Amino acid sequence: MIMRTNKLFYILLCSVLLTITACDFINDDFTKDPNNPTSVTPGALLTSIETSIAYTQGGEVSRYTSIFIQSLKGIGRQHEAYNRYIMPAETFNNIWSNYYSTALEDIQQLKILADGKGYKAYAGIAKALEAYTIGTMTDLWGGLPYSNAFKGTDNLQPTYDSQEEIYAKIQELLTAAKADLSGDLGDITPDADDFIYEGNTDRWLKFVNVLSARYYLHLSKKDASNAQKAIEAIGTAGFETTEDDAKYAFGNSETAANPAYQFLQQRAGDITYADTYLTDKLDAMNDPRLEVYVDMESGDLASFYGSINSPVFFLTYAEQNFILAEAYVIKSDLVKAKQYYDIGVKAAMKQVGVPESAAAAYPFDVTKPLETIMLQKYFALFLQPESFVDWRRTGYPAITPNSGTEIPRRFTYPQSELDYNSANVPKPNTLFDKVWWEQ
Amino acid sequence: MKKLLSFLMLFLLSIGALFAQDRTITGKVTDATDGTPIPGVNILIKGSTSGTTTNNEGNYTLQSVPSGATLVFSFIGFQNQEIASANQSVINVQLQSDTKQLNEVVVTAIGIERDKKALGYSVQQIKSDELGENKTNLLNSLAGKIAGAQITSSTGAPGASVNIVLRGYTSINGNNQPLFVIDGVPFNNDVNNTESSLGGVANSNRAIDINPDDIASVSVLKGPAAAALYGIQASNGAIVITTKRGSNTQGKVSVDFSSSVAITQANKFPELSTTYTQGSGGVYQGPETGQGRSWGPKISDLVFDGSTDYPYDKNGKLVLKTGNPNGKSAITYDPLGQFYRNGLVANNSISISAGNEKNSIRFAIADQRNKGIAPNTRYDRTSVRLTGDSKLTNQLSMGASFNYVLSSGKRAQQGSNTSGIELGLYRSPINFDNSNGNSNPKDSSAYYLPDGTQRAYRAGGIYDNPYWVVNNNLFEDNVNRFFGSLEFKYDPVRWLNITYRIGADAYTDKREQPFALGSAAYPAGRIIQDAYLYRHINSDLLVTFKHKIGDNINLSLLLGQNIYTRRYENLLQIGDEFNFPGFIQMGNATTIQASQYLGKYRRVGYFGAFNIDYLNMIFLELTGRADKTSTLPLDNNTFFYPSARLSFAFSELAALKDNSVLSYGKLRAAYAVVGNDALTPLGYYPLRTTYYQVSSATAYQIADGWTNGVSFPINGVSAFTYGDAYKNSSIKPEYTKNLELGLELRFLKNRLGLDITYYNQKSSDQLLSVPVSNTTGYSSVYLNAGDITNKGIEIVLNATPIKTDQFSWNLTVNWAKNKSMVEKLAPGIDNVFLNGFTGGSTRAIAGQPFGSLYGYKFKRDANGGYIVNDNPNAGAGVYGFPEIEDKAGVIGNTIPDWRAGITNSFTYKGFTLSALFDIKKGGDIWNGTRGALVTFGRAKETDNRGEEIIWQGTKASDGSTNDIKVPLNQAWYTGNGGGFGSEAKQFVEDASWVRLREASLGYTFRSLGKTPFKSINISVFGTNLWLHTKYKGVDPETNLTGAGNAQGLDYFQGPNTRSFGISLKAGI
């Protein structure tokens, strides 16, 4: 009797011990992430967007397109091979990922936030920057995933839109941006978080117009009527002085520094900006810009583009004028072409702080109008990927390959796309294929 | 009320017992074969839990023996004896040895001791005297001794991490290391990395805090079957460590002292040219030009010009001999031989223990000082330990252990890091003396020019001079760690045991990484302060019921509950841009970024194990466990997993029981399922995507893969970006299913033993961070996907070929083969990047074994020849040379074909000689170091520059036989013939090796009569004394990224080391 009671007692004791502890141990305290927010202000996103576009464009995009357009030479380590157009698909992984997973995804998040809360200014700027970004990207690669992109796990392998479709999207976005920026701007508007225009929506409206013109001009090779569309896009509502230049201002500390500066500091010996086609031409003309562009002794960038806080230019007054000049050449109106050409050359000088009088060295040559304009545009758009578009569209400047028989005409789709979205990557996919508007 | 009554009854009963006729019994226990006394024999009063043990002379005293009690005498290796005490007061016993039964006791994961015979799964045991003399990282002491364990040291730097995987990789993103358990409490073995694993220091895995001298034995439980009861952390097996504790020494104090010192040196360097100098196109270009490569003239063509003010060499500037025929010949420097020097490892420890039959205590203190082969680098460890065990009452006993470890290092950066040692050092040309003629490595004239800028082989601050690195930029880490446990065992009645154990493991790991002004990676200076605060608390409540049915069947049921709580915190502060030189501190920084991270985790588990033992011959165990964790969705966070194990000791069968040949034979089979939650693959908070501050502190800075990028806040403005890892709120646990079959045989009275295990394991629904197309808006997505299978065989052979009175020879061989296969990954994904570079990386690729090397390879024609470019306009280094495939693919595999360890030990009187040979067959390494050194003209194979060859194969345009003669020159080697070109396969090498991992010769003095010493041992020993391999780089036991899932990467990490030393051990 005692034994059985003992047994019972112990079994009871044990079960009590084991179940006493079945309380709720796992709750929100353990599952909710205390380290990162689930929602942020629109300004925080805008700054991230602008920075990623500027850093990517001023960094790798600028370096690779400058190799192609011969305003930069790769001389050390990997860049020596790049100089000879040996560029495996991984080379473009970073650029693609910065644009898609950072810049464009943050733009989608900002659009959702801004549209939801009626922050029209942010919505408009987001759309303008989206157009800018996919514009830059489509000119580099060709077709791009867009209408089926940004859907997360709902579509892990988005199909590619054709370049023609992307171009249509660009103009759509710009129209919508214009509408957003023209009405009631909403409760919260950008200010110091906008590193390009500090929230000045008038300037953003001008930006939208000039950008629209740029993309019409690109299509002029396919259909000359686009030249007129470009002119109309600008109309009387474009940039008015170099003060309106859209540029991202980098900071004064090493961790806020310009990408070209960072590369020259941290990867010294890989590239040089001296002894290139561009510097040779500037040197031959004794152009005062040479001094502020490139330090010919060290091969680094000089004060204007190579300082710690040098800006990265998105869209300039100089470019606007060259767009108009070229459009008028296409329309065979050389008078207007010259008019805008002259303003453009002066603007290019002013942009980098050089006396406008230096523009006198470059009179408009009516016997070869396009060549004249494109050469000046080449000088003015130093380090910008737009020069690579210009060369492909017009054939100027007249450069010859560093190696082999051809100069590349695009970036290849990155290794990450070949790895994770291979079924959809368009073919052919080499450095030397022409994009749609060039065919 | 009933409870109270029962309690009262118990109490009265025990009081009643006090008044019965008790007496004291004494006696002596000896070995029946030779009459020698046996210390430590257990004597139990049958039917109770009281008893005692014999002392060193074999004598015992047993008090309070009730009249009519039976005494049970038992000891490992001897047959039990039960003796009725009748009215005797002296009982002497002679025990018969029991060579047939293998009464080896093994400690399982929960701290439960099991008879090895009863185990249905594979366990290997390493005793403390088998651990060897390498006391820095416990894992190095296990290398070569455990069948199927792949133990890989990352580099020879002191304190470097060691990777351990038992039976192959089962988790793609998660942890594949086994669980470490010390005295029943889990022990953290994480590696914390302050900087990228591709270029930073070789951090330690936290098991380095274990002092091997404190270990009594290590049980290696391989695979899920062994660890099914322990839970999800043990899905890759468990390393169960039992530490030394006090014992019953009849009150005598025993002291053990050990001291050893060893010299270490680098054991293998990459093969470098000693012919060609700095320059390009055959033209000499000295350090002041910033030329990085060695495509200059032969050093025999150069002489010094005798100038005395040339800051790069005291002998003057180098010029061509042809113009200066009388100049002093240029000196061929040896950058690696001069920089790496002998290191020193000194170990000292002392332990004091004492005990009687009720209480025992042990105190130990140990210290290691490890000076590395790179000047000024070191790793030091001091550990203090106190354990106490007490029999509080006849039914209740308690044990406690407290350990405190101070573990610190001064380390140098390595890898793909312009501020690391090796990038600059390995690329240093033979015409440049990094030390500037100084023999003292601290002399600053080696690394500073007279103008205050850095003196290095490439002017312009491109790579730091290695002396700059070890004097200015050493990484310092300091770890304070406490771990301990408290355990209560209560046996209220014979058939019930209640054990409660609570343990804690806590450490703070504080690191500082300075970059002085002028450093290559951060010319404006940088200081990183990184602090890790970790603790976990583990509580186990175990209740065991035992029941006997008749004489032949023993049953037991174990029920348990486990609670594991962890808290991990990291504080990171980065200061950039110093205002002025010489003061590397946060206060001197112009920009400061800071970040914090807090991770909390909790897991509750309930488990049960049911055992049936029939005739001590057939053992069946069924287990089940349910875990609830905080990293699975709140509404679906519990999962259950069972296992079944069966063992059949067929040598117990009547027919085989007295067999003279077969002493022991057992068949085992086990099937187990282990679940795993998201903690190790996906982190603490895997359920919801969030925003991140744009800052290098969260690793979300905006950069481009070449530069440090931009971090916020800037001028008071913050930036946040949406996370690019898509987190999934509907993830499920991953499961590993394992089938294991084994056979154990012992022959000729244990003179020969064989243990064979076959296993087949499948891990499915892997929790993966799967990379996806960036066009989804993300870079990766968390989901359940992917299957990996692992199959293999492990064989352990033990033999004593010769055994005489004076001399014995023991041989242990272990051999294992593992075949893994990544069956599939996520839909549409055929490879997952583990780590590496764009040129060469380690990946998990569907349809391939785990750990494939990935990159581009040369195109081949149908006969295996090259397809050669025959376009004359293609340019130098391309025309006439092989073409490369358009798509990257598998270029090698890091998993070896098989691994073996052979230990021979010979004893003759007091001498012991032992040697461990470790063999690895197969397993590739991507030798990125050699690839880069080819591009730089420093690799020995580029001494053939200028030689002309015709690549064997066919022409690309028409398939005709290739006849184009081309020179193997700078254009080729700096293009696709070198590591910075596109082709990676030429730098993937077979990393097979045979090495003499450990060897020692020692003499033990015993019977020291009048002296207080029980024994003194003097040994000489060596590690890694001999290495045979075809690998062309450093020692192929290496990995740039350290412990982790990506192995097989060699890119400018430091060399491995060999050592020889002497040790002295004494016991009082």
> What's the mean pLDDT in B952-977?
93
Contacts A109 to B, Cβ<8 Å:
722
Statement to judge: residues B85 and B132 lie in one domain: no
Considering the domain architecture, whether residues B525 and B611 belong to the same structural domain is answered as yes
Residues linked to residue A301 through DSSP beta bridges, in sequence order: A294
Using a CB–CB cutoff of 8 Å, tell me whether A84 touches chain B: yes
Q: Which residue of B has its CA nearest to A51?
A: B702
Q: How far apart are CA B133 and CA B131, in angstroms?
A: 7
CB B247 within 8 A of CB B188: no
pLDDT given at position B17: 41
* CB within 8 Å: B714 and A253: yes
Closest-CA residue of A relative to B779 is A101
Q: Hey, what amino acid is at B752? A: L
Looking at per-residue pLDDT, the higher value among B654 and B355 belongs to B355
- Inform me whether the C-beta atom of residue A14 falls under 8 Å from chain B C-beta atoms: yes
Residue B661: what pLDDT? 85
Neighboring chain B residues of A149 at a CB cutoff of 8 Å: 775-777
Give the count of domains, chain B. 3
Residue at a domain's end among B775, B801, B829: B829
Packing angle of the helix pair A259-266, A42-56 (nearest 10 deg): 50
Same-domain pairing of B415 and B486: yes
B84 touches chain A (CB under 8 A): no
Nearest to B704 among A98, A265, A418 (CB): A98
Half-sphere exposure of B103 (CA within 13 A, CB side): 12
Q: Tell me, what DSSP letter sits at residue B636?
A: G
Tell me, yes or no, whether B1021 and B915 share the same domain. Answer: yes
- Tokens in use for B333? 């420097």
User: Mapping DSSP to helix (H, G, I), strand (E, B) and coil, where does residue B675 land?
Assistant: strand
Q: Is B708–A266 a contact, with Cβ atoms under 8 angstroms apart?
A: yes
Handedness of CA A423, A426, A430, A431 (dihedral sign): negative
Asked whether residue B5 carries a pLDDT value surpassing 60, the answer given is: no
Residue B8 inside a domain? The answer is no
N-term to C-term CA, chain A: 101
Task: Compute the distance between CA of residue B825 and CA of residue B769 in angstroms, rounded to an integer.
Answer: 11
Q: How far is CA B100 from CA A8, B34, B38, B685, in A?
A: 40, 19, 19, 54
Angstrom CA distances, A109 to A169, B688, B702, B721, stand at: 18, 15, 17, 9
The whole-angstrom separation of Cα B244 and Cα B217 is 8
pLDDT in tens, A156-207: 899 999 999 999 999 999 999 999 999 888 899 999 999 999 999 999 999 9
Task: Indicate whether B2 pLDDT > 60.
Answer: no
Touching A: B residues 801-860, CB under 8 Å = 827-831, 838-839, 856
Mean pLDDT, chain B, as a whole number? 89
> In what helix (H) or strand (E) does residue A421 lie, and over which residues does it extend?
none
Q: Quick check: B9 and A5 CB within 8 A?
A: yes
**Per the structure block, which two tokens stand in for B457?**
């082989």
Best CA proximity match to B1058, nearest among B1028, B1026, B1024: B1024
Residues of A in contact with B290 (CB under 8 A): 268-269
Check CB contact of B329 with chain A, cutoff 8 Å. Answer: no
B277 and B297 Cβ atoms separated by less than 8 Å: yes
- What pLDDT sits at residue B461? 81
Inter-chain contact B981–A81, Cβ cutoff 8 Å?
yes
B6, B716, B981 ranked by CB distance to A86: nearest: B981
B461 touches chain A (CB under 8 A): yes
Of residues B211, B220, B216, B209, the one with CA closest to residue B145:
B220
Residue B660 has which token pair?
């003279």
| Closest chain B CA to residue A404 | B874
Q: What is the DSSP letter of A101?
A: I
Query: How far is Cα B905 from Cα A388, in angstroms, rounded to an integer?
Result: 72
Which of B6, B707, B829 lies nearest to residue A420, judging by beta carbons?
B829
Q: Do B875 and A10 touch (CB under 8 A)?
A: no
In chain A, residues with a C-beta closer than 8 Å to the C-beta of B708 are 254-255, 262, 266
Contact list, A81 vs chain B (CB under 8 Å): 974-975, 980-982
| Residues in chain A within 8 Å Cβ distance of B881 | none
The per-residue pLDDT for B99 is 46
In chain B, the residue whose alpha carbon lies closest to the alpha carbon of A23 is B604
Split at pLDDT 50, 70, 90, the class of B15 is: very low
Of A157-166, A207-216, B697-706, the poorest mean pLDDT is in B697-706
Contact residues on chain B for A95, CB-CB shorter than 8 A: 704
Q: Do A34 and B598 touch (CB under 8 A)?
A: yes
Mean pLDDT for B218-241 is 80
Q: pLDDT at residue B103 above 70?
A: no
Please tell me the predicted confidence (pLDDT) of residue A378. Answer: 96
- DSSP for A322-363, please give it: HHHHHHHHHTT-HHHHHHHHHHHHHHHHHHTT--GGGGGGS-
Helices marked H in A41-90 — which ranges?
A: 42-56, 62-68, 77-83
DSSP-based three-state secondary structure for A23? coil
> pLDDT tens digit string along B257-290?
999 999 999 999 999 999 999 999 999 999 999 9
Size of interface A-B (CB pairs under 8 A): 303
What pLDDT is stored for residue A17 in this prediction? 63
The predicted model gives B636-654 an average pLDDT of: 88
Closest residue to B601, CB basis, from A30, A39, A60:
A30
Q: What is the SS3 assignment for B602?
A: strand
Give the model confidence (pLDDT) of B826-866 as tens digits: 877 788 888 998 789 999 999 999 999 999 999 999 999 99
Whether A34 has a pLDDT exceeding 70, the answer reads yes
List chain B residues with CB under 8 Å of A78: 980
DSSP helix/strand/coil, B1017: strand
| Chain A contact for B12 (CB, 8 A cutoff) | no
Percent of chain B with pLDDT over 70: 95
Determine how β-strand B866-868 pairs with β-strand B953-955: parallel
Decide if A97 touches B, using CB distance below 8 A.
yes
For chain B, count helices (H), then strands (E).
Answer: 9, 58
Is there a single domain that holds both residue B93 and residue B137? no
Q: Which two tokens stand for residue A429?
A: 């996919």
B295-301 contact pairs (CB < 8 A, 24+): B295/B937, B295/B945, B295/B970, B295/B974, B296/B429, B296/B431, B299/B274, B299/B275, B299/B330, B299/B332, B299/B430, B299/B431, B300/B275, B300/B329, B300/B330
- pLDDT given at position A2: 47
- CB atoms A32 and B602 under 8 Å: no
Interchain CB distance below 8 Å, B496 and A10: yes
**Amino acid, single-letter form, for residue A383:** L
Could you say which DSSP state residue A192 is in?
Answer: T
Residue B4: what pLDDT?
55
Token digits for B239? Answer: 């390393």
B43 & B148 share domain: no
Greater model confidence, B1014 or B881: B881
Residues B1007 and B957 in one domain: yes
Segment B742-785, tens digit of pLDDT: 999 999 888 899 999 999 999 999 888 888 899 999 998 888 88
Residue of A86, A250, A404 with shortest CB distance to B873 = A404
Which CATH number is B606's domain given? 2.40.170
What average pLDDT score do residues B1-27 get? 55
The pLDDT assigned to B61 comes to 84
- Of B55, B76, B98, the domain-final residue: B98
Q: Which of residues 722-751 of B touch A (CB under 8 A)?
A: 722-724, 726, 728
Q: Take residue A416 and report the two structure tokens written for it.
A: 């990450």
CA distances from A60 to A98, A220, A276, A386, B702 (A): 11, 28, 18, 14, 13
List of chain B residues whose C-beta atoms are within 8 Å of the C-beta of residue A425: none
Cβ proximity of B483 and B496 under 8 Å: no
Determine the residue among A254, A429, A433 to mutate to test chain B binding: the one whose Cβ has the most chain B Cβ atoms within 10 Å. Answer: A254
Average pLDDT for residues B895-915, to the nearest whole number?
93
CB contact under 8 A, B838 and A88: yes
Say which CATH architecture domain A42-221+408-430 belongs to.
Alpha Horseshoe (1.25)
Query: How would you list the strands of the sheet with B93-95, edge to edge?
Result: B59-66, B22-31, B93-95
Q: Which of A97-101, B118-122, B871-875 has the highest mean pLDDT?
A: A97-101
First to last CA, chain B: 56
Regarding whether B79 and B138 lie in a shared domain, the answer is no
In this prediction, residues A105-120 reach a mean pLDDT of 94
- The yes-or-no verdict on residue B34 having pLDDT over 70 is no
Whether B452 is covered by a domain: the verdict is: no
Given phi > 0 = left and psi -120 to 50 = alpha, else beta, which region is A313?
A: beta
Burial-class residue A433 by CB neighbours within 10 Å (0-12, 13-18, 19+): middle
Contacts of B628 in chain A (CB under 8 A): 25-26
Instruction: Work out the angle between the directed axes of helices B2-18 and A2-19 (0-180°, nearest 10).
Output: 120
Q: Do residue B573 and residue B512 come from a single domain?
A: yes
List of chain B residues whose C-beta atoms are within 8 Å of the C-beta of residue A150:
775-777
Q: What is the pLDDT of residue B171?
A: 83
Contact B498 A39 (CB under 8 A): no
Q: Give pLDDT, residue B13.
A: 45
Q: Which residue of B598, B776, B778 is the best one to mutate when testing the A interface, meaning the one whose CB has the most A CBs within 10 A?
A: B776
pLDDT at B278 (0 to 100) = 96
Contacts of B601 in chain A (CB under 8 A): 30
DSSP type of residue A141: H
Same domain, yes or no: B349 and B405: yes
Whether B710 and A80 lie within 8 Å, measured CB to CB: no
- The yes-or-no verdict on residue B385 having pLDDT over 90 is yes
For residue B739 the two structure tokens come to: 């089938």
- Same domain? For B814 and B878 the reply is no
Q: How many CB atoms sit inside 10 A of residue A13's CB?
A: 16
- Whether residue B772 and residue A420 make contact (CB cut-off 8 A), yes or no, is yes
Interface touch A420/B9, C-beta < 8 Å: no
Asked if residue B548 is part of any domain, the answer here is yes
Task: Judge if the upstream peptide bond of residue B713 is cis by omega within 30 degrees of 0.
Answer: yes
Strand partners, B673: B737
B-interface mutation test, from A6, A21, A26, most B Cβ less than 10 A away: A26
Which ipTM was obtained for this model? 0.92
Residue A150 and residue B776: Cβ atoms within 8 Å?
A: yes
**Residue A309 reports pLDDT greater than 80:** yes
Beta strands (DSSP E) in B208-286 are 215-221, 238-243, 253-266, 279-280, 283-284
B463 in contact with A, Cβ within 8 Å:
no
- In this prediction, residues A10-28 reach a mean pLDDT of 64
Tell me the per-residue pLDDT of B152-184, one tens digit each, with 9 for 90 and over: 988 999 999 999 999 888 888 888 889 999 988
**Residue type, position A381, single letter:** L
The shortest C-alpha distance from B293 to chain A (Å) reads: 9
Q: Do B893 and B791 have their domain in common?
A: no
Confidence of residue B16 (pLDDT cuts 50, 70, 90): very low
Domain that holds residue B240: 128-245+342-420+473-688+727-829
Q: What is the pLDDT of residue A10?
A: 63
Beta-carbon contacts of residue A357 (< 8 Å; ≥ 6 apart): none
